[in-house]
Amino acid sequence: MKPRTALAAMALVAVFAGTSAVAQSGAGDAAPVFEQPAAGTPNFTGKWVNTKAGGRLLTANGSEPPLTAKGKTEYARRQAALKSGDHKIDPTSTCLMHGIPRLLYAPYPFLILQTTRNVNFVHEVNHTFRNIYWGTMPPADADPTYLGSSLAHFDGKTLVIDSVAFNDLTWLDYSGLPHGEKLTVQERYTLSDPQTINGSVTITDPDFYTAPWTSRFTLKRQPGMNLKENVCTDTHQM
Amino acid sequence: MRRSAWLAVTFTVIWTVSLAQEGGPPQPQAGGDPAARAAARDKRSATEAAEWNKNPAPTDPRDFSGVWWTRGYDRTFRPVADHPMSPGESAALLPMTPLEAASRQHHLDMEKAGTPIADAPTQCFPHGIPRLIASPYPVEFVYSPGLITLLHEVAHNVQLIHLDGKPAPADTPRTFLGYSAGHWEGNTLVIVTDHFNDRTQIDEESLSHGLQLKVTERMTKFTNKYGGVEIRDLITIEDPEHFTKPWTAERLFPWRGDIHLAEYSCEENNRNAPVNGISVAK
């Protein structure tokens, strides 16, 4: 939350703490470098929906994700709460961002907007977007966020998005699969035909999973579908 | 957090500078001499332009792709005037209907009483147009076939500008950000937005609108005398219930090749959530 009143308050604080704030912003706002995909790479721009929206993530061969003991305990706690009808345990119940990869499984359409500058994911659900520049080394020291810090590149005809620097406030899926701040995610997108993307997401988090694991999904193009204005705080009683 | 700290510092600097210009302590480097102050301002603007052009803006006059960020924060929209005006003079130019004049006074009175009327963004609703245009956060233009998408850092607002030349679909709902159709007149991007609900304000301070609001923006890219690139946005506001005639405000958006958008979660720890329609600080 960065409301204007907070900004005003911080302006006053900054009078006293200005030196350190300037030093911090100087370190974080280094001029970004724009790497661009090679000519002839596919373009994923369009409206898409995930055919496997909602539900729980399984590995590519259909088995349970390899939870650590800590991961099993946390997952069991969330599952028990959901089964007892306590949906407030779900962070999206208070309109927080879905996190990655859960956002890709939300039962709403989204735009992929691929340009020479970057690739953008614009989701109908609570007008959530990711603005991902071309490159291969996401900054691991970025402040943790709901959607992480991401960079995109092409591996042949496959669009690859690497993300780091997540906070631990989101669930990996709708069933409550946990993660911590060590989470890294690699998404891979390949066109299998002009209307279909074969997608995969690889989860690495040694605190919650004994090994990296991969889940697969399919995106279908929806040319006739328009994104609607979806405002979570207006439809949920906060 | 980093962005808000940065903004806070920016505001502090602007505030300090404006205090100095309004008779506060003179700035040491300017020495109170108007010519020296102008030279200092020129030097600052040139330094900014060089920093912000590290990654240059697209050269095609119709290509606005990239990040733009208005300077400072002005919480009011006022008609463009041909000379500098005091806030009172400028407000007197507003062609308000009696309904809007009374509504505006009520907003001002409530704020003065310490119980400001809750504005849409305090509830993490989209800001509305033109309210969103005034927001002191960066915005990125993304071009794709038939569409210009505006990604606003503030509260992850998204505007879709439809360039298909068609009117809004018949079933278009009334929404916070309305329905936007764009077209080009020369190198000026003209955006007409309507289909608004009546739950947002024109500006943060006091101006309101109803369901008949129509906003026409005319955006033109230009290079300023320091070599910086800017978009000039002329914003025409029409709402016969609230204003006796259309009026036009202006905002400038400098190119910012030095930054990317940061994540902004309005919904996390929203300390401005209103109680009974009144904004409260918690």
Tens digits of residue pLDDT in B151-185: 999 999 999 999 999 999 999 999 999 999 999 99
The predicted structure's pLDDT at residue A17: 29
The predicted structure's pLDDT at residue B29: 52
Query: With bands split at pLDDT 50, 70 and 90, how would you rate the model's confidence at A33?
Result: low
Query: With bands split at pLDDT 50, 70 and 90, how would you rate the model's confidence at A75?
Result: very high
Sheet with B247-254, edge to edge strand ranges: B66-68, B139-144, B147-152, B158-162, B179-185, B188-194, B214-223, B229-238, B247-254
More confident residue, A126 or B4: A126
* Secondary structure element (H or E) that encloses residue A117, with its range: none
Q: How do strand B158-162 and strand A46-50 relate by DSSP bridges?
A: unpaired
Closest chain A residue to B175, measured at CA:
A229
State ipTM.
0.87
Q: Does A10 touch chain B (CB under 8 A)?
A: yes
Query: With bands split at pLDDT 50, 70 and 90, how would you rate the model's confidence at B270?
Result: confident
* B211 in a structural domain: yes
Query: With bands split at pLDDT 50, 70 and 90, how would you rate the model's confidence at A136?
Result: confident
pLDDT at residue A107 tops 90: yes
Give per-residue pLDDT as tens, A36-64. Answer: 788 889 999 999 999 988 889 999 999 99
pLDDT at residue B105 tops 50: yes
The predicted structure's pLDDT at residue A40: 85
Interface of B with A in 163-202 (CB under 8 A): 169, 173, 175-177
Closest approach of B228 to chain A, Cα-based (Å): 16
CA distance A153 to A35: 9
The predicted structure's pLDDT at residue A137: 79
Query: With bands split at pLDDT 50, 70 and 90, how would you rate the model's confidence at B88?
Result: very high
Tell me what the mean pLDDT of segment B58-71 comes to.
96
The predicted structure's pLDDT at residue A13: 30
Q: How do strand A110-114 and strand A46-50 relate by DSSP bridges?
A: antiparallel
Q: What does each C-alpha distance from B51 to A154, A168, A173, B99 come to in angstroms?
A: 30, 35, 41, 47
* B134 in a structural domain: yes
Find how far residue A152's CA is from the centre of its chain.
13
Tell me what the mean pLDDT of segment B3-20 comes to.
41
The predicted structure's pLDDT at residue B273: 77
pLDDT at residue A16 tops 50: no
Considering chain A, what is the average pLDDT of its residues? Answer: 86
More confident residue, B193 or A10: B193
The predicted structure's pLDDT at residue A25: 33
pLDDT at residue B8 tops 60: no
The predicted structure's pLDDT at residue B5: 43
Closest chain A residue to B135, measured at CA:
A4
The predicted structure's pLDDT at residue B20: 34
Query: With bands split at pLDDT 50, 70 and 90, how would you rate the model's confidence at B3?
Result: low
Task: For CA atoms B2, B6, B9, B15, give the dihedral sign.
Answer: negative
Contacts of B140 in chain A (CB under 8 A): 131
Strand, coil or helix: B183: strand
Number of Cβ within 10 Å of residue B186's Cβ equals 9
Give residue B95's domain range. Answer: 33-254
Matching residue, tokens 């301002």: B41
* B28 in a structural domain: no
Q: Does A229 touch chain B (CB under 8 A)?
A: yes
Tell me what the mean pLDDT of segment B55-60 comes to.
95
pLDDT over 90, % of chain A:
75
* B195 in a structural domain: yes
Q: Does A127 touch chain B (CB under 8 A)?
A: yes
Q: How many domains does chain B have?
A: 1
The predicted structure's pLDDT at residue A237: 52
* B228 in a structural domain: yes
pLDDT at residue B189 tops 80: yes
More confident residue, B142 or B21: B142
Task: For CA atoms B236, B241, B245, B247, give the dihedral sign.
Answer: negative
Interface probe for A, chosen from B64, B67, B158 (most Cβ of A below 10 Å), is B158
Contact A7/B160, CB-based, under 8 Å?
Answer: no
Tell me what the mean pLDDT of segment A175-198 comes to.
97
Residue type at position A68: T
Closest chain B residue to A148, measured at CA:
B263
DSSP of B89-157, one letter per residue?
A: HHHHT--B-HHHHHHHHHHHHHHHTT-PBPPGGGGT----TTGGGG-SS-EEEEEETTEEEEEESGGG-
Give per-residue pLDDT as tens, B223-251. Answer: 999 999 999 999 999 999 999 999 999 99
* B276 in a structural domain: no
Tell me what the mean pLDDT of segment B98-116 comes to.
97
More confident residue, B23 or A30: A30
Q: Residues A34, A40, A45, A49: what is their CA dihedral angle, to the nearest 10 degrees? A: -120
pLDDT at residue A27 tops 60: no
* B105 in a structural domain: yes
pLDDT at residue A32 tops 70: no
The predicted structure's pLDDT at residue B276: 76
* B26 in a structural domain: no
The predicted structure's pLDDT at residue B32: 75
Tell me what the mean pLDDT of segment A88-107 comes to.
96
The predicted structure's pLDDT at residue B255: 98
For helices A4-28 and B2-21, angle between their N-to-C axes, nearest 10 degrees: 110
